[in-house]
């Protein structure tokens, strides 16, 4: 297979990527210049795909009957807790607007397994490794067979695991780990043969937040001409008799429709979208949300002080969650979900990516590299990429474009937390995501290349 033939076959991928990265005030040539690093990285991976280093994977040689089990548990704190996401917010939570949930889907096919965990939290952070190790020990699951992800709501509790920290949060987190460990077992125990399929929709709920000021600097705000990944991917699961079972959906947005003045617990946009979809589809259907590459994407309405209701006003978080949830329901309804057999394959790697020059750890010697966990999987013809960081949307779109699978779920805040990872062109612009990132400009291209190689290794 030569590079020319690959380029011809995948012209639509690059057209789609460039379309997604369109800026109204720029022409195509300028746009390609600004994003050439990301596009070139994904293109080169496609051209050398046959020569990519294969990552050791676990998987069966042929597709077998796909089985899945579902568990859903309430993880809402029952005491006031420190809330996540804003350093300026010092107060404890003061009420619950909507409950937080963990949703688990455990797959099995031909003896191979994959467990996807979605939690309405900012991230598992320090709780990730204790939970992953406990799950592996109790259920015999390998690291590459578990996706521990969070929707990144900024209106949930801060996970704390060490004595001496806020007692309510430590108590909550210890209880959370025990609950999640049991819930994974429930999902595994209730596995049954399923039918499945994947559908694609689109939503304008997410908006690029890198607003350009008159002096050329970048602030957190609203940039309607910036890149956004509007794709809503929905994996539909049904029982063999056609009864709807679950909707797993992936969408790129931060959980920041509510700001630091809000003291009510909420799943924010992704959590509210999942709750809406579950209410409309059926009480027996679980809608599991996953946060796509959204490091520079906020909801259209962002950092609000709370839920407005005066004079019939519809609270913006509920409005946005409903809008996204309706798209999930539309896609779910239009998906036939007739597949019954699928091969499961998985792989895990900790990448040592170059660190930003002069970036130290609490005054220590400057770091040379930063570790980043990357987990990949496939269920039949559907790919999954989980990254343990806040991945900017341009990087996620490049991974999708380079993926050998027709549909690829890019999931962030999953299996680790390494902060922001921005594409090289944005390092020259600066801004919050770039300034707080520990990764060097070239790290994004390296991640795209390696992630696509790992996906190729699952074929």
Task: Give pLDDT, residue 43.
Answer: 45
State whether the Cα torsion 444-420-274-345 is positive or negative. Answer: positive
DSSP 194-227: EEEEEEEEE---EEE-EEEPTTS-EEES--TTS-
pLDDT value for 361? 53
Question: pLDDT at position 51, please?
Answer: 34
Minimal CA–CA distance to 263: which of 97, 122, 121, 94? 94
Q: Using N-to-C axis directions, what is the helix angle for 393-402 and 11-20, rounded to 10°? A: 170
Tally of structural domains, the chain: 1
- Mean model confidence pLDDT for the chain: 88
Q: Average pLDDT, stretch 176-195?
A: 97
Rounded to two decimals, the pTM is: 0.87
Task: Kindly report the length of the chain.
Answer: 459
Which of 293-307, 356-370, 378-392, 436-450 has the lowest average pLDDT? 356-370
Q: What is the pLDDT of residues 384-434, one digit of tens each?
A: 999 999 999 999 999 999 999 999 999 999 999 999 999 999 999 999 999
- Does pLDDT of 439 surpass 90? yes
Domain, as residue range, for 53 = 1-459
Asked if 192 and 331 touch (Cβ cutoff 8 Å), the reply is no
Q: Show the 3-state SS of 285-331.
A: CEEEEEECCCCCEEECCCCECCCCCHHHCCCHHHHHHHHHHHHHHHH
Express each pLDDT in 157-169 by its tens digit: 999 888 788 999 9
């Amino acid at each position: 297979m030569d590079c020319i033939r690959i380029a011809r076959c995948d012209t639509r991928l690059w057209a789609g990527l460039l379309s997604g990265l369109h800026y109204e005030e720029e022409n195509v040539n300028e746009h390609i210049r600004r994003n050439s690093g990301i596009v070139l990285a994904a293109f080169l991976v496609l051209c050398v795909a046959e020569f990519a280093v294969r990552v050791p994977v676990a998987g069966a040689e042929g597709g077998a009957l796909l089985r899945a089990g579902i568990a859903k548990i309430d993880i809402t704190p029952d005491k006031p807790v420190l809330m996540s996401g804003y350093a300026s917010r010092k107060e404890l939570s003061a009420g619950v607007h909507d409950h937080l949930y963990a949703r688990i889907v455990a797959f099995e096919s031909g003896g191979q397994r994959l467990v996807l965990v979605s939690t309405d939290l900012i991230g598992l952070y320090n709780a990730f490794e204790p939970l992953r190790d406990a799950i592996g020990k109790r259920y015999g699951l390998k690291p590459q067979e578990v996706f521990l992800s969070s929707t990144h709501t900024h209106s949930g509790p801060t996970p704390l695991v060490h004595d001496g920290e806020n007692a309510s949060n430590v108590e909550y987190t210890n209880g959370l780990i025990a609950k999640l460990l049991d819930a994974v077992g429930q999902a595994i125990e209730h596995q049954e043969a399923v039918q499945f399929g994947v559908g694609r929709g689109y939503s304008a709920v997410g908006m690029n937040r890198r607003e350009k000021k008159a002096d050329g600097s970048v602030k957190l705000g609203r940039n309607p001409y910036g890149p956004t990944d509007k794709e809503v991917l929905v994996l539909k699961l049904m029982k063999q008799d056609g009864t709807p079972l679950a909707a797993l959906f992936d969408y790129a947005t931060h959980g920041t429709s509510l700001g630091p003045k809000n003291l009510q617990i909420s799943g924010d946009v992704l959590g509210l979208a999942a709750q809406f979809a579950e209410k409309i589809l059926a009480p027996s259907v679980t809608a599991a949300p996953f946060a796509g590459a959204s490091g520079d994407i906020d909801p259209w309405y962002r950092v609000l002080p709370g839920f407005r209701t005066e004079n019939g006003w519809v609270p913006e978080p509920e409005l946005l969650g409903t809008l996204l949830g309706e798209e999930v329901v539309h896609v779910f309804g239009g998906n036939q979900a007739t597949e019954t057999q699928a091969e499961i394959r998985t792989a895990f790697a900790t990448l040592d990516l170059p660190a930003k020059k002069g970036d130290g750890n609490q005054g220590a010697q400057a770091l040379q590299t930063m570790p980043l966990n990357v987990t990949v999987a496939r269920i039949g013809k559907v790919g999954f990429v989980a990254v343990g960081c806040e991945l900017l949307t341009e990087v996620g779109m490049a991974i999708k474009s380079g993926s050998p699978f027709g549909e690829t779920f890019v999931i962030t805040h999953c299996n680790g937390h390494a902060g922001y990872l921005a594409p090289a062109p944005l390092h020259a612009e600066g801004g919050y995501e770039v300034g707080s990132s520990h990764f060097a400009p070239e790290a994004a291209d390296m991640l795209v290349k390696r992630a696509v190689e790992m996906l190729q290794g699952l074929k």
